[in-house]
Amino acid sequence: MKLIFDFIIYLIFLIFISIFKILPSKIKLKFSEFLGLFLYYLIPKGRKLSLRNLNLILNEQYNYNLTDKQIKDIAIKSYRNTMKSFLLPFWIYEYAEKYPPIIHNIELLEKLKETNDRIVLATLHYGFFHMSMYPIIDEQMFIIIRPVPNRFIETYMNKIRFKKNMLSFTEQNIKLLFKHKKSKGFFIMLNDVRKPNGEKVNFFNLPTTASGFTAFFSMREKLPIIVIHNEVDNNNICNIYIDEIIHPENYTNESDLTDKLLKVYEKIILNKPEQWYWFQDRWINKK
């Protein structure tokens, strides 16, 4: 029964995507923003989480003293941006052509590639986060993903993830990644979301959990980490920042390295909080 239901959802999904893909670029972006606003009001749980998380971090932890209206404005902008980012993979090549991204500090990446043929790329769910991989679009990529529950949609998604040069591995079958651990290329990892039963960490000075796999893999394989994120401006131009290079040998253990990564993420998020995804249960035990 579930298989039939999943297939019906898949057919609806295909119709939606087929219509979406033929829209002009500007309309795609405007429609995505509208859909984000619609979902903000449609899903009470996500809306309440966003407002709670923003108050928790910006007001309680960092004393920004923002009003309810200012918090709401950030949450709405986050939803609009998130939906644009969510739909971006379906037209990412067209987007990059119509709205050429600006890459900052590319020399850091080029210099690192001169001495390393295997590199960990750490990014986060921020801006158009898929575009953080744009500077290595022609390189071999290996990425860990959370699969879509619908098997038909997941199969479709696998066909469009940077096409020829990206191999994806689910969190449930991460051992497959190790079969490629000596392959030349970039290992793409995100760990800015809460990981149930994950490593205990502090994020924005609050206890939570996170995946320590980025640090584990980097230290085990002795691979440098390059942190890349992107920010989208009011004209929908993506500014991609090569933030810094982290060498695992400079850290005593995986916990220290994970903490370093999260500190980098905190700085990025606080700079433009409207570009992060605030509707997640990042601090599950907070009211």
- 98's CB contacts (< 8 A; 6+ apart) are 25
- What pLDDT tens digit does each residue of the chain (287 aa) get? 778 888 888 899 999 999 999 999 999 999 999 999 999 999 999 999 999 999 999 999 999 999 999 999 999 999 999 999 999 989 998 999 999 999 999 999 999 999 999 999 999 999 999 999 999 989 999 988 877 778 887 788 777 765 668 888 877 778 888 999 999 999 999 889 888 888 899 999 999 999 999 999 999 999 999 999 999 999 999 999 999 999 999 999 999 999 999 999 999 999 999 999 999 899 876 55
Among residues 194, 150, 199, 190, which one has the least CA distance to residue 168? 190
Measured from the Cβ of residue 182, the count of other Cβ atoms closer than 10 Å reads 9
C-alpha–C-alpha distance, residues 170 and 136, integer Å: 21
Query: What residues form DSSP beta bridges with 189?
Result: 122
Q: What is the pLDDT of residue 48?
A: 96
Q: What is the pLDDT of residue 162?
A: 55
C-alpha–C-alpha distance, residues 25 and 5, integer Å: 32
Q: What is the pLDDT of residue 164?
A: 66
**Structure tokens that stand for 236 in this block:** 């929908």
Q: What is the pLDDT of residue 181?
A: 92
Q: What is the pLDDT of residue 285?
A: 62
Q: Write the CA distances from 189 to 19, 33, 92, integer angstroms.
A: 32, 27, 19
Among residues 110, 121, 167, 175, which one has the least CA distance to residue 143? 167
Q: What is the pLDDT of residue 148?
A: 75
Q: What is the pLDDT of residue 125?
A: 95
Provide the 3-class DSSP secondary structure of residue 281: coil
Q: What is the pLDDT of residue 27?
A: 98
Q: Are 262 and 203 in contact (CB under 8 A)?
A: yes
C-alpha–C-alpha distance, residues 225 and 249, integer Å: 11
C-alpha–C-alpha distance, residues 112 and 118, integer Å: 10
